[in-house]
Structure 1
Amino acid sequence: MKTTLICALPFILGAATAHAEETLAIYNWGDYINPEVLTKFTQETGIRVTLDTYSANEEMLAKVQQGGTGYDIVFPSVWMEDIMLKLGLLERTDIDKAADFANIDPQFQRAKGDPEGHYCLPYAWGTVGIFYNEDVTGPITGWEDFFAIPGRTGKKITLLDDMREVLGMGLIMTGAPVNATDPGQIQAAAQYVISHKKDVTAFTYESMPLLVSGDIAAAHYFVGGNMYAVDHPNIKYIIPEEGATMYQEDICVLKDAPNKAAARKFMEFYLTPEIAALNVAQQFNGTPNRPANELTPDFIKSNPNINVQGDTMARLQIFEDLGPALKAYDRAWNAIRTAQ
């Protein structure tokens, strides 16, 4: 769902209508919304939608802080939403007052700065685990198996080009929480990753095309990568037995959004269970919309690595705003990237 090569190249959806002059400018992760959702929104409201994409929370924040972007809606991860709230970058929408807000499972109102949903709407959630070519690797169960693949098969593996996700994996494997602020724990996580760096061919968001083409044997990637593997039964996805991270993004309206009314209409539109389910059917992730879960395709509902339950959910951790400790993560990430 996130790719560094997808950048600010907008595309426009929807036919001209009597209200075609009204537009909604969306800034979202690459490949993180079903185009049908945007088409249906235009058909229903007459509001023309433009979409630009980013590959990292930090990239989105930097652009928003520059100002004058013209964007109405962004999709920050929960921890980034908390940062943006502190910086005064988000508009209060009172979306929690909408009648259909009752569809949202309260456990997904995770933002510490917006626990009641006055600002943002829970959008989607999922896991970050391992995709692998079972024809090459055989069955694997976790991170230890993942890092053993190059030595055992001579084939390449990739890690995400994502500071929090890579260090989160290192923290899990060294017995620390993914939101650790202790410098020693952060350093130990970085050393774990560095100790395996020789087996990693790249830090990238372009893993799934490489895996499907056979250029790599396994990849650290988001569950949404299943959209690339539909026609490739040899490509499997697992949530590592040692533990993994989960993510959640929310729909937020920017304080300087040019069209806040259209943004609010989109949030209300996305509360419709059929629309949230339509997105899940293409994105292969979870939705906070409870009625929508019953409308998702059977192949998603029956997949325990997508529709996560019970003990597996207990192995997942979600990122939080690190505050001043973020500097230690930046240093650790730089050490990983520059290590020989």
Structure 2
Amino acid sequence: MKQLVQATIAIIIACFLLFFASRSLESVGMDGSKDTLTVYNWGEYIDPELIKQFQKETGIHVIYETFDSNEAMYTKIQQGGSSYDVAVPSEYMIETMIEDDMLIELDHSLLPNAQNIDPYFLDLPFDLKNKFSLPYFWGTVGIVYNPTMVPEDLTFTSWEDLWDERLKGKIFLVDGSREVIGMGLNSLGYSLNLKDDVALREATDKLIQLTPNVKAIIGDEITPLMINNEATVALTWSGQAADMMWENEELDFAVPEEGSNLWFDNMVIPKTSKNVAGAHAFINFMLDAENAAQNADYVGYSTPNAAAWALMDEEVITDERFYPDEELREHLEVYENLGLEWLGKYNEYFLEFKMNLN
């Protein structure tokens, strides 16, 4: 009888231990609970200290994962194998994700810091009334170059400067069909969202004439090459140019007057989220003026947070290369969702251009 009582007590204790262990696992968010938040963002696109600060203030543990393209991000979220609570796609991909019913509508009552955003960056065509997204960073596509390594008369205020024969073998291009084909279209005075085979043919033919000047089409390797003066000219994004210029003060950046891309990366909550309240808390935290200023100083990209501007170096926010005035913005276009058919055509023309490189 004594052994039976001891066994019964042991079973009861084991049950209690199992119960408390399961509650402990839940409390640390092993099941994607309210104490864990999974953020999916571009690489090197947040100040790590802000993640630590958010965790300290909220008690929410942040799992931070990165992607290197909108398409990779889209595919992983669509597959549903991972439960992401916050993601940071670009404007055209946000439009696609809305169409594909992949996003949760934001509860703006939980996002009071949204009032810090400059109205210029709100209510844009890809997400009217910002039902599904709020701005994180923004910027342009332009030309970074070393003035000491190019002829003095080339200031790259025009796309035409890239076709100058004196730049033979000196230009690097980012590996993106929208950026490169868009450059060709803009150089001819066309919209970079054009759905017209004749114009795309004309733009591609003109780009093929550029091939003698193109040294390579590459990705993030552009940054160290430009920093170390191993490259002379590059088509790139403004934030990437800012990173280069921080390390190499000889470099300069220009947005050609014919027009270019105005891009946005916005914060969204995918329907895979298991912590919607925590996702709202994180977005609101990132929109705080002090946090947004700190993040912009660390990342180097332009912040849409008007309240943060008062806390930042005036030389930064008045630098029209990275904070272009309204006159220049009138010549900039946001990428539109082209649809699968036309996106495929842009990719085909881009591939044709690449195949003509020596």
In the TM superposition, residue 233 of structure 1 has moved relative to its aligned partner by: 1.4
The answer to whether structure 1 residue 39 and structure 2 residue 52 are counterparts is yes
Q: Provide the C-alpha distance between the structure 1 equivalents of 2:307 and 2:234, rounded to a whole number of angstroms.
A: 33
Describe how 1:222-301 pairs up with structure 2 within 5 A. 222-225=237-240, 226-301=242-317
Give the conservation status (yes or no) of the 8 Å contact 1:28–1:53.
yes
Q: How many residues align?
A: 320
For the residue of structure 2 that corresponds to 1:135, the secondary structure is helix
Q: Provide the C-alpha distance between the structure 1 equivalents of 2:95 and 2:147, rounded to a whole number of angstroms.
A: 39
The answer to whether structure 1 residue 327 and structure 2 residue 324 are counterparts is no
Q: Provide the C-alpha distance between the structure 2 equivalents of 1:147 and 1:274, rounded to a whole number of angstroms.
A: 43
Q: Provide the C-alpha distance between the structure 2 equivalents of 1:219 and 1:110, rounded to a whole number of angstroms.
A: 32
Match of 1:156 in 2: 170
Q: Where in structure 1 are there 5+ consecutive unaligned residues?
A: 1-18
Match of 2:219 in 1: 205
Q: TM-score, normalised by structure 2?
A: 0.83
Q: TM-score, normalised by structure 1?
A: 0.87
Deviations 1:97-135 (A, max 9, x none): 532222223332245363122221121111111111122
Q: Which moved more, 1:88-97 or 1:226-235?
A: 88-97
Q: Provide the C-alpha distance between the structure 1 equivalents of 2:53 and 2:110, rounded to a whole number of angstroms.
A: 23
Q: Provide the C-alpha distance between the structure 2 equivalents of 1:153 and 1:90, rounded to a whole number of angstroms.
A: 45
Match of 2:186 in 1: 172
Give me the CA root mean square deviation: 2.1
Match of 1:13 in 2: none
Q: Provide the C-alpha distance between the structure 2 equivalents of 1:309 and 1:251, rounded to a whole number of angstroms.
A: 24
- Among 80, 91, 112, the alignment partner of 1:67 is 80
* Structure whose CA Rg is larger: 2
In the TM superposition, residue 257 of structure 1 has moved relative to its aligned partner by: 1.8
What amino acid does structure 1 have at the position aligned with 2:188?
T
Q: Where in structure 2 are there 5+ consecutive unaligned residues?
A: 1-26, 30-34
Greater fraction helix: 2
Q: Provide the C-alpha distance between the structure 1 equivalents of 2:344 and 2:283, rounded to a whole number of angstroms.
A: 34
What amino acid does structure 2 have at the position aligned with 1:188?
E
Give the conservation status (yes or no) of the 8 Å contact 1:96–1:116.
no
In the TM superposition, residue 136 of structure 1 has moved relative to its aligned partner by: 0.9
For the residue of structure 1 that corresponds to 2:278, the secondary structure is helix
Query: Against the structure 1 CA distance between its residues 20 and 214, is the aligned structure 2 distance closer, same or farther, given a 3 Å change threshold?
Result: farther
Deviations 1:280-315 (A, max 9, x none): 212333222221122222221231111211322222
Q: Provide the C-alpha distance between the structure 2 equivalents of 1:97 and 1:39, rounded to a whole number of angstroms.
A: 21
Give the conservation status (yes or no) of the 8 Å contact 2:169–2:212.
no
Give the % identical residues: 32
In the TM superposition, residue 253 of structure 1 has moved relative to its aligned partner by: 0.9
Give the conservation status (yes or no) of the 8 Å contact 2:102–2:271.
yes
Q: Provide the C-alpha distance between the structure 1 equivalents of 2:314 and 2:69, rounded to a whole number of angstroms.
A: 31
Q: Provide the C-alpha distance between the structure 2 equivalents of 1:332 and 1:155, rounded to a whole number of angstroms.
A: 22
Give the conservation status (yes or no) of the 8 Å contact 1:96–1:117.
no
